[in-house]
Amino acid sequence: MAIHASNFERSGNEQTGPERTVVPQQRRLPGERPRRGQVMTTKVGLRMPSGASFDEWEQAGRQLSGIVDSSSWWLGDWLVFGKDHYVDRYQHGIRAVGLQYQTLRNYAWVSRRFAFDRRRPALTFQHHAELASLPLDQQEMWLDRAEQNRWTTKQLRRAIRASRELEEQTGTPVEPVRRLELPGSRLRSWHRAAEQMGIDFDQWVMASLDTAAARVLEDLKDLPEVRGLKGVNELSEAERPAAISA
């Protein structure tokens, strides 16, 4: 059973193309009942067909849940766009459409922390919100685990808390990490390259950077102006960053 939208009609503001936007206009007559097999929605409610089975009722709930979850991303991206393009007017737009700025700001923060190509359709907006404050590499790790284990948001939160408690109990010192912000597409291509080489991602990154550094330093060491520079061609293992998080 699909949620039926026949109670809405498309307005003249509809756009064509792959990212078409439909601006709905209500045209339901007062008291109109859903036709057989249709779930009807209005601005103030939802009508289920009287003969709906449990499976049909459950399917409608799944669709509604997906719409609610997607709307968080939509609103977050909407505010991000407004902030980026209408710096002096976006707050007026928020007031004009009657939305709560604090809620929108939370959505927008999560949207900024996860580029489109890093968002996991199999996970909810709230899964991403739980991880938004973490470094990018930890976000990816926990997203992978949540997706693979099909964790709920609560299960993900408990797993993160348990991991932190274990670190505190073992007293494992946190090594300094130099962070490098990267587009998700580049990070994925690096992962694929490491897989093709048959080595761990961290090892591939370090080997690639070491190779690039060695080439540059080899070219520099014979130049008169850099012969006396301390550290050229003398990078020791201890001086290298403990990890690079992308």
pLDDT digits (tens, 9 = 90+) for 157-214: 999 998 888 877 776 644 444 556 666 677 778 877 877 777 777 777 778 888 888 7
Residue 234: predicted pLDDT: 47
- What pLDDT band is residue 242 in, cutting at 50, 70 and 90? very low
Quote the pLDDT of residue 176. 44
Q: Is residue 56 part of a domain?
A: no
Lowest-pLDDT range of 13-17, 62-66, 139-143: 13-17
Say if residue 161 is in the same domain as residue 122. Answer: yes
**Residue 150 — left, alpha, or beta (φ > 0 → left; ψ -120 to 50 → alpha)?**
left
Hey, what are 9's tokens? Answer: 């009609």
Residue 188 lies in a domain: yes
Q: How many domains does the chain have?
A: 2
When pLDDT is cut at 50, 70 and 90, the band that residue 20 belongs to is very low
Range of the domain at 118: 114-174
Confidence band, pLDDT 50/70/90 cuts, at residue 36 = low
* 208 within a domain of the structure (yes/no): yes
Backbone angles phi, psi at 127, to 5 degrees: -55, -45
The dihedral of CA 54, 59, 64, 70: what is its sign? positive
Shared domain for 246 and 179, answered yes or no, is yes
What is the reported pTM? 0.55
pLDDT reading at 219 higher than 70: no
**What's residue 122's pLDDT?**
92
Examine the domain organization and report whether 141 and 193 are in the same domain.
no
Instruction: Give Cβ neighbours of residue 208 (< 8 Å, ≥ 6 apart).
Output: none
- On whether the CB atoms of residues 111 and 77 are closer than 8 A, the answer is yes
Say if 211 falls within a structural domain: yes
> Is position 8 within any domain?
no
CA distance 105 to 165: 30
